[in-house]
Amino acid sequence: MDELSVHMKSECVIAIQSQDTKVDFIVGRYTGGALQILDKGVNKPFKQHVQDTAIMWTIANQDTAKPTRVNMARWIEQAWNRITAKNITNTWNSVGLPSYNVGDGAEVQRGWKTAL
């Protein structure tokens, strides 16, 4: 994990370790760029889709005080549905981690096969 203060709290570390998970920290300022691959090809477009939908809603509903939780949940669902398997595959490929097909149509990233 990165060294965000909440990640380093003992209760957080203990909770993660209680799930038989080893905890390691990445030194600050080393988590950007290539280490957070999905930020570029998945998270950024996902957040942009949510923001675009929120802006369109705001324009269309100027007289409404604020969106409901249901509105926001729908925006998230719609944004996620716009992220395709191809988006994810292209993101991994962009950093030199090509995917391969495991036979059932699912693509798995090289180096992660042992985790299956």
Q: Average of pLDDT values for 5-17?
A: 88
Look at 71 and 108; give whichever has higher pLDDT. Answer: 71
User: Which pLDDT score, from 0 to 100, does residue 65 have?
Assistant: 76
Look at 1 and 116; give whichever has higher pLDDT. Answer: 1
Q: Average of pLDDT values for 23-30?
A: 72
| Contact (CB, 8 A) for 60 and 113 | no
Distance CA 26, CA 30 (A): 7
**Tokens coding 6:** 């909440």
Q: With a cut of 50, say whether residue 81 has pLDDT above it.
A: yes
| Contact (CB, 8 A) for 115 and 104 | no
Burial zone of 25 (CB within 10 Å; 0-12 exposed, 13-18 middle, 19+ buried):
middle
Share of the chain above pLDDT 70, in %: 73
Q: Hey, is 8 helix, strand or coil? A: coil
**Tokens coding 17:** 């370790």
Cβ-proximal residues to 28 (8 Å cutoff; 6+ apart), any chain: 2, 3
Length of the chain: 116
Look at 28 and 58; give whichever has higher pLDDT. Answer: 58
Q: Average of pLDDT values for 82-98?
A: 79
44-60 vs 69-81: helix axis angle to the nearest 10?
140
- The mean of the pLDDT values for the chain is 78
Other Cβ atoms within 10 Å of 58 Cβ, number: 12
